[in-house]
Chains A and B, each alone.
Chain A
Amino acid sequence: RAIDEERKTTYKSVVKIQRWFRACRVRAYLRHLSKMAILIQKWWRGYLRRKHFREIVERAYFIKKLEFYHAMAVRIQKRWRGYYVRKYIHNFYALKKYLKAVSVNNELVRSELQEYAEMKENEEKMKALEKKEKEKKYEARKMHYLLSTAQIPGIYNSPSRKSPDPMELLLRKSKPLTHRKQQVDSPSAKELYDWPTCKRPPAFVTSLPLLPADRQKPQGPFRDAAEVLRQRHKPLEPTLRVRESMYSQPAKAREAPPREEWRNPMHDKEFLPFSSYHKNVEKYEPSLCKSGKYGQEAYGTKYFREVYPKKWIADKDFETLFSSIVLFEKFGKTYSSTGQIV
């Protein structure tokens, strides 16, 4: 029993040793396996990663290049935009120049306007002065009687003064004023001109020419002035021979008006030609030559009387009671003109 137990214990210990050794072997094998697996995986992963790495490097390189290009492009654009804006869109110096030019121009305009205003003021002052002068002169003319004579000094020429008053000088210069109304144009002639249909004043003389009022009567045995003038302005009364001769001066003069009349014909409503009222009321009546639709109206050449059958008392037209002249029948029929039926 002791050997049995010894044998059992040695068996157990052998089993233990063998077990342990097998376990070691298996462990070593497993270790080896895992090492191999790790090795393979290591190599494989390395390979994969290296492949990716190249791609990544490429990509990174590319991105770096791109970034570089972007940075350079930004620099270029920055420069360009600055230049462009400063030159074209918001050119500071041009703006400054422009503003300076504007202010210079403004000064110019202001000075010109100032001159213009001053000129206007001067003109007005001159006008006022002239008006005053005119009034003074008129007054002096009216008060001409205040002029001093040789014996009596006038009020403007008092003896206690050293020199006469300017009013006195003005009085000496001025012509005495008479209040007679001057007839510049005879009013009757003016009225007649105003009539729209009258072209010339009537031929008779309305008033004799006036003699100037302050004309001194000439000394000597002269005839009465009015008589002389009447004689001078007596209208011509030529003899019958002179009057009726075709080639004498009066006859030729008489001929001239008809030509004028032909040129400017007189008729009633001569001076109202543009009034649309007349356009509406007085219709234009075309002449016979032009009133046909396509040219000449046949009346006057083809037939000579318009017929109104409705107005006939009997039912027949007039009949020619005598034979027509043969020669006249052939009128228009001897030769055939183009398009016309013979």
Chain B
Amino acid sequence: MNTEGATSSGVAKDGALDSSSTAKRNSKKPKYSRFTQQELPACKPILTPGWVMTSFIFVGIIFIPIGFASLFASERVVEIVDRYDEDCVPRNYSYNKLAYIQNNATNKTCTKRLIVPKQMKSPIYIYYQLDNFYQNHRRYVKSRSDQQLRSTASEDVTSNCKPEAVTKNNSAIVPCGLIAWSLFNDTYGFSVKNKVLDVSKRNIAWKSDQEQKFGSDVYPKNFQSGSLIGGAKLNASIPLSDQEDLIVWMRTAALPTFRKLYGKIETDLEANDEITVVIQNNYNTYSFGGKKRLVLSTTSWIGGKNDFLGVAYLTVGGLCLFMAISFILLYVIKPRPLGDPSYLSWNRGTMN
């Protein structure tokens, strides 16, 4: 207690000196400010049981409604996922899918029927989902030329694009690089009750990509003209900014399993409608064991079907409430724990 007195009196004395002696200004005495004396007003949070409980309960109360809300939103989303890479290979090729896909002569058309489980309100988004496809591989990600895509002037900037940079006679490939070269080329045709569903391919790419990253005066050139053909070919008369499939593809995926937008269906589908999908199964995922899926999905405010987030919110929220309750119970049952281990160890110390 005496130090308290000492310091406070010290402060008082200092204060008196400060006010009384302006003459002593030039002394080496440190000037008083709350900053230099480390006495700034501050809030000093302490983990009291009250605070602990309050924060746990608070997190619980916030999280559980969010969890329910997102689960509910996810519930409203109707999603049809259909894997077709196996089914679309004829029986006789099932042991050598690679030969089937690499053979230009084989018939790649394949028809699948999908049942709409619930009513799907437009727009219905069509995705293709690839598996085990490393679009995030460093060699792959870097194998593009943004400058070339943007303007015709830098058509020859293809240094990053090797080995898909130039043709044999040294003229630049536009768009160059492995990403463009391996453009996805499966196509889907949809019909319900023998009525063909229109697939809109407009506005499936990001606006910024279309406007800024892909030039409206850049046209495909020498594309897929080499001996090895990777994926889809491009219509050389359409500028890159309008090749939305390419733009979507060029926006590389983060993980080896990814979905990409294929198009939109602008009409509603009723429950139990049977959709006939005619698939051109061109793309080779067989060599690396990648699955191919066709996804039809509606969206809600949280996007596509996403139960994970809701469940996760609910779990963590519940956990927090549980913690809060157990804390309260502890507090009620044993306000001051006798079984405090540190307590005991000190006692033991004095005993010996």
Q: Do A and B assemble together?
A: no
Binding site for A on B (CB under 8 A): none
Binding site for B on A (CB under 8 A): none
